[in-house]
Structure 1
Amino acid sequence: MAPPRKRTSKNRDLPPNLYPNGKYWQYRNPITGKKISINRSLAEAVKLAKAANAKLAPLMVDDGELLSLLTGEEAPTFARLCDRFETEYLPDRKLAASTCKEIAIKLERYRTDLGKKLVGQLDVLAVAEYLDQYNNNAYTKHRGLMIQIFDFAVAKGLAERNYAEMTLKKREEEKKRQRHTLEGVAKILEADTTAPWLKRAIRLALLSLQRREDLVTWERAAVDMASNTIRISTGKTQNYENPIHLEIEMGADLRAVVQECLAEPIASPYLICYRPRARKREQIDAKLHWSAVTDDYLTKEFRKARDAARAYDHIKDPLARPTVHELRALGSWLYQQQGFSQEYVQALMGHATEEMTAYYQAGHEKKEIIYQRAQADLKL
């Protein structure tokens, strides 16, 4: 429950939640935050405010359960707001599956942390205190989602103002992760500690330039060795107005790694697959196929293999060491270095603009100081 507003000299003698409103008065419901004008005399306004405070007092300590009993309606809790936001607002946004998954995780946390609170109890102070537990980029992301949730609440009449938007806007820190190098990736590929399925995944990422979530769901049925092509519909773009569908003509190296994937004896529908040591029922049910590699598992196993191979020990901060995602950036730079046009690389990566492709390619070469020649012929 947010504390009542501090009494000023003008309203010090008024009961809680009653405020001057021009020549009349205004009552702020401490549960919902809604403001109601009282166009009556001071005496009548005070009487009404005291009666309302007395009636609402029990509701402020039981998280809305009594409110539901009294009104016969569901209390406007933050958990129910999150439910409506997820079912009524998000489906129309046409977001990528990975983005929806990330939002769902955040919403579940909000339900746990704030779910029982009534929407009206979450004022600027309450939202700011909740966001302050997050650092740097996490703060920025949670604040952005909170702003969307409160925008939805205002539009549905569940909140009077977007209090999340009134919290402090912090500058997002630049990502610490560094780029991959050829030497670093070679160490990972040559290491005995790197699993064979992971080595194939690394080479497939470098050669095809596809995203992590697309690599692990790439089906064997997409390959046509006779026509030397492999097809893919990139997951991130499927909710876009113009989704990306690629038919890739395989070069010699890409064809070789695809053949290795097809030769894997595991009866799997996917190019990248493995045989788990233990097949727990809950783990199998959570995957598309018992042999499937999830995108999170790929990330975790790559990180382990990278550090076991001591590929980037010179980067002391583990969070700054390149991940599986940066393989896509290294691959696009290698294509550029071998003389492939920007249009060629852009099409393979499924980017809408050349600028995005250029961003991925940048940062792989060491910056050298370039001296610009100038003259100074001034005579004194």
Structure 2
Amino acid sequence: MALDPVNSDLPVLAKVIPLSMPQQSKENLTRQGGKANEKEKCTKAKNKEQIINLTKEYMDFLKKRIEVLFQHRPQYLNDEKERILTQLKEEVNIYQRIFDDRTEVLSAQQNNIKVAIIAIQNILQLHSVVFLKDTSSIIQRAKQVLQIKEETNCVVDLKKLKTTLHDNIMVKVQKLLKIGIPSLILDENSAHPRLILSDGNRSLRWGDIKLNRADNPERFDIEPAVLSTEGFAHGRHIWEVEVGDGTRWAIGVANENLRRKGGFDLIPEDGCWTMRRWESDYCAGKQYLHLKDSPKKIFIYLDYNAGDITIENAEDGTTLCTFKHSFTEKIFPFFWSLDSNSEMKITSL
């Protein structure tokens, strides 16, 4: 039976971090006000300096991601990691030289067009004012085309850079570590009626009202939970979840036969291996977690054959909690949220 955090007769753990939310509390919970999540930083670059800065930022991001992925892996892979980091730096340098060449050519073209515009303006000054007025809009449009062309070239180059670096570097890391990086999608057939799925079913939050969803056998009717469409019965897999500023959530993995109707506790004994947050407190299973910082992005690492589940801070590689279990059935990524003003998101590695 689910524990009630309001009941003063319950143990401290149950009062502070409920293993699950009682049905009445869930149904009565209304959406709280608050500021929306900060918008993602615009990555459109309008000049060379911005391109260089954004390129460096993305390179640093990939470097940090690689360091985190290798942090708890066998030591013999360190040499391979260094080779990959060197390749990352070399590819960025090559791309930078290509960009410099393109910028030089584009700059020459722009100068030629600007000289032509000045020449036209000088010629038009010898003619009637009326004719000059009619053609002034043409000159203005030509100037706008120059600016748009410059911005478009920069944006396309930046997108190409990210795609190239990700394909060349992260795919190599995935193969080296012999680990699957699934593209997870939330299973709407299992989602609680008040969980709002968005962004191609890669984001979720708790809603004000029940959605019109069929009461099929796979659907959670009490717990605010949803599984992914993809499960695992062998191998090693890693995925990332952004919890942001949410304060009422749980993430991890669950058995395929996890109870769907009625409440259950978010503990291994009930088929859930999760880390959860309730307000300012964190817990894994029945144990408190004493965290120095609140994680915003989290890795869930599953080694099915070895029976290992590791949950890490994706930003610095800190291990948040671990579980050990001999799996005998299919395991699914598990998501649980009572946050109405903060989305939980599956992000791409």
**Smaller-chain TM-score range?**
under 0.3
Where relative contact order (Cα < 8 A, 6+ residues apart) is larger, the structure is 2
Q: Which has the higher helix share?
A: 1
Higher strand share: 2
* TM-score, normalised with respect to structure 1: 0.23
> Which structure has the larger Rg over C-alpha atoms?
1
Q: TM-score, normalised by structure 2?
A: 0.24
